[in-house]
Amino acid sequence: MSVLAAVGRPEVAQIAQEIFAAMIDRQPGLLTSWPAGPATVADPLYAWVDLGTVPASRVQLATDAATADALARAFLTMGEAEPVSADDVVDAFGEIANVLGGNIKALLPEHVGLTLPEVSRADPSGQRGVEGAEALFAWRGAPLVISLYTI
């Protein structure tokens, strides 16, 4: 069974909310559905992992760079004013994608491989195949987009 067939928006939303409640916000309810209307991610940062089914499926996370900074500070339990290094932002954002991808992988009936996370300012979805679930969230008022698609 492909990832896209096995995993819908409700599953993605539940996993994302569990990750944020346990490891980012350390309380539930702060990652919410994006209110109606389009979510525009300005100055985006992307993180993704690929699940080794055939065709391979990508689990991608996107948010704006300032929100990725705030995510890293929250993940690392740093204060709002504490400077966070670019390496820390890349590592933290990639780890969120890794945990997301691993939990999506666990929903599949068969074992598939999981790649190490990658992070880039360039949109990796140029090779996008079939579209799967997309979940739009608001975190501290900024959009955070999770998309599944084949590559």
Interaction site with another protein (CB under 8 A)? 18-19, 21-23, 26, 72, 75-77, 87-88, 91-92, 94-95, 98-99, 101-103, 105-106, 108, 111, 114, 116
Q: What values do phi and psi take at 50, rounded to 5? A: -110, 140
In the complex with another protein, the residue whose CB is nearer, 103 or 147, is: 103
Residues, the chain, total?
151
Q: What minimum distance in Å lies between the beta carbon of 103 and another protein?
A: 6
Smallest separation, CB 64 to another protein (Å): 19
Q: In terms of CB distance, is 35 or 50 closer to another protein?
A: 50
In the complex, the smallest distance separating the C-beta of residue 17 from another protein, rounded to whole angstroms, is: 10
Taking the complex as a whole, how short is the minimal distance between the CB of residue 133 and another protein, in angstroms? Answer: 18
Residue 18 or residue 134: which is nearer to another protein going by CB?
18
- H helix or E strand, kind and range, residue 59: strand 57-64
Distance CA 94, CA 119 (A): 6
For 8, list phi and psi in degrees, rounded to 5: -110, 180
**Of 60 and 98, CB closest to another protein:** 98
DSSP per residue, 69-125: HHHHHHHTT--TTS---HHHHHHHHHHHHHHHHHHHHTTSSS---BPPPEEESS--G
